[in-house]
Amino acid sequence: MIHSPAPFITLSAWRSRFLFILLLLGFVGLAVRAAYLQGMHNDFLRQKGESRYSRIVEMSANRGMITDRHGEVLAISTPVASIYVDPTKVQASNEQLNELAMLLKMDVTTIQQRIAEQQRRFVYLQRRVLPGIAERIEKLKIPGVFLQSESQRFYPAGEMTAHVLGFTNIDDKGQEGVELAWQDTLTGELGSRRVIKDRKGQIIEDIENIRAPRQGQDLVLSLDSGIQYLAHRELTRAVTTHRAKAGSIVILDAQTGEILAMVNLPVYNPNRRTSIDQEKIRNRALIDTFEPGSTLKPFAVAVAMEVGEVNADTIVQTAPGTLRIGRRTIRDINNKGNLTVAQVIQQSSNIGTAKIALALPPQTLWEMLNRSGFGMSTGLGFPGEASGRLRAYNTWRPIEQATMSYGHGISVNLLQLARAYTLFTSGGELQPVSLLKRDSAVMGQRVISAETALAMSLMLELAVQPGGTATLAQVNGYRVAGKTGTAHKLIDGNYARNRYISSFVGYAPASNPRLIIAVMIDEPSAGQYYGGLVAAPVFSQVMAGALRMLNVPHDASPSNVVFFPAVSGFEEGG
């Protein structure tokens, strides 16, 4: 059988040319596109390729150290690691998971639940793991389980400096105290680098640094660790002995305004943040306010001397031991009769102080208290610092002007009170205070004349000597000046009958003041509550030790201390 050949399809000439042109254009387009991608726009291809093995990772920045004035470390960041997983990449046997759970002290079921979160690419298993544990986890070589370098804040002094330093959270951000106030200074800036990872997510090569990390700045505080320890020890002893609810102490360098120590009780340990009691974390010396009682009397007397109303020898009649103002009566503990102004301070007469204050225009007394720093922030910059309360003078009634002169109807924090006494240690100037170390003294703001400041200082010395209310504040070998205070606690707008604030503020050596110490004991309940019996002894012990540490020369004989326990510590003001 003869087969006929298959039909041969013949295209017309224009069609074959058109098809050829289309094919040619296609090849030309592909060539141009390839040249464009490989020669002129190769970033796209490189990015697509690198995205499969190249990653940008963060470079940690260390938080700055905090040290005391002598360079002793108070806060430092130590390296730790956080363990996280990429659930989409985890490949682990039951044995590996059990070992991982054992190292992290976690329930293996919890780990399995987190690995099962397939919709997420990043899940923490545990934050801040100790380096030794992290190293053992890394040796397990479980695909999808990674280590992230971090740091953890450590406070070598523990509870002794807790209220000043505060603490950081799990992300190393300041939450309280200095850590919060100077967060921007202490914190660094993260850097970044490009690395190559294998298919298991492990880094196998560093390619380049994109941005170098900026380390946090170190902070040098004005605190003296030795004096801080001394203050903490003596305050603890007093609060325990007198079964007090709380206590605070502030120590200022009278020459520079630096805070050398600040202690509060009760305390907490910032290295154990999971068990911190919120009631214990506040810095009571700055955040809590109280009525200062008789420690405010020197300011009413000082302004009266400044305007020429009285001098140290002016006689004030306090008999018969009571003073009626409107429907209220002011009392002294007994009938003191005629007193000089100096004796009004020495014996802490409410009536004497009230009469001196009432001889002044309300605005004059208010301006003195205001310029002494009451009713306003100290400018320290500490988070949550209270400004206290000083009501406008045009709202005062005569009884309020009288009681305010001896520390009722006004509220202060302990640092404000300590700072106000710089008027008497610096020749009449109110000194700015600082928690950072200063290289030199700074200029204060003049409030009273140097002559008035000296006269008041001599009166405050009398308060500590025999016949005064604070003989237990005396210090061997040093002249001491200061004032006691005892005030009923104000609770829900009413004065609690059997709850007191006991306080003492003083300085030494009185001839050339170096330290100012303010002590406040909240609700002593062991029987004694007068400031001269509860707070003054704390002042004496701390001042004696601190002056020795600073090698301050004596300005009195070693046998200058004379006690008269029968009268020591009793003052009006409550």
Three-state DSSP state, 127: strand
Fold of 56-220: Penicillin-binding protein 2a (Domain 2) (3.90.1310)
Those residues whose C-beta lies under 8 Å from the C-beta of residue 343, and which sit 6 or more positions away, are 336, 349, 352, 462
Cis upstream peptide for 509 (omega within 30°): yes
Residue 546, sorted as left (phi over 0), alpha (psi -120 to 50) or beta, turns out to be: alpha
The C-alpha atoms of residue 142 and residue 128 are separated, in whole angstroms, by 19
Give the tens place of pLDDT for each residue, 64-113: 999 999 999 999 988 888 888 888 888 888 888 888 888 888 888 888 88
Greatest pairwise CA separation for the chain in angstroms: 157
Those residues whose C-beta lies under 8 Å from the C-beta of residue 249, and which sit 6 or more positions away, are 231, 234, 235, 261, 262, 263, 285, 414, 517, 518, 519, 520, 538, 542
Q: By C-alpha distance, which of 390, 405, 392, 305 is closest to 349?
A: 405
CATH of 225-268+282-549, picked from 3.40.50.11860, 3.40.50.300, 3.10.180.10, 3.40.710.10, is: 3.40.710.10
pLDDT of residue 152: 85
The set of long-range contacts for 49-55, using a CB threshold of 8 Å and a minimum separation of 24, is 53/196, 53/197, 53/198, 54/194, 54/195, 54/196, 54/197, 54/207, 55/194, 55/195, 55/196, 55/197
pLDDT of residue 48: 58
Handedness of CA 545, 546, 548, 553 (dihedral sign): negative
Helix (H), strand (E), coil (C) string for 482-537: EEEEEEEEEECCEEEEEEEEEEEEEEECCCCCCEEEEEEEECCCCCCCCHHHHCHH
Bridge pairing between strands 219-220 and 66-67: parallel
Which residues are tagged catalytic? 294
Strand ranges for 109-173 from DSSP E: 123-129, 145-154
Q: By C-alpha distance, which of 152, 138, 151, 139 is closest to 84?
A: 138
**Residue pair 146/201 in contact by the 8 Å Cβ criterion:** yes
The C-alpha atoms of residue 179 and residue 12 are separated, in whole angstroms, by 88
Q: Do domains 56-220 and 225-268+282-549 have the same CATH topology?
A: no
Those residues whose C-beta lies under 8 Å from the C-beta of residue 340, and which sit 6 or more positions away, are 312, 313, 314, 315, 316
The C-alpha atoms of residue 384 and residue 378 are separated, in whole angstroms, by 12
What are the residue ranges spanned by the domains of the chain? 56-220, 225-268+282-549
Strand ranges for 223-294 from DSSP E: 246-253, 259-265
The C-alpha atoms of residue 233 and residue 548 are separated, in whole angstroms, by 16
pLDDT tens-place values along the chain, 574 residues long: 555 555 555 657 777 777 778 888 888 888 777 777 666 666 665 665 555 555 665 556 788 999 999 999 999 988 888 888 888 888 888 888 888 888 888 888 888 888 888 778 788 888 888 888 888 888 888 888 888 777 889 999 999 999 999 999 888 899 999 999 999 999 877 655 555 555 555 555 555 556 666 778 999 999 999 999 999 999 999 999 999 999 999 999 999 999 999 999 999 999 987 777 878 999 999 999 999 999 999 999 999 999 999 999 999 999 999 999 989 999 998 899 999 999 999 999 999 999 999 999 999 999 999 999 999 999 999 999 999 999 999 999 999 999 999 999 999 999 999 999 999 999 999 999 999 999 887 889 999 999 999 999 999 999 999 999 999 999 999 999 999 999 988 888 788 888 999 999 999 999 999 999 999 999 999 999 999 999 999 999 999 999 999 999 999 988 888 865 434 445 544 3
pLDDT, mean over the chain: 87
Which of the 8 DSSP states describes residue 228? H
Handedness of CA 333, 334, 337, 342 (dihedral sign): negative
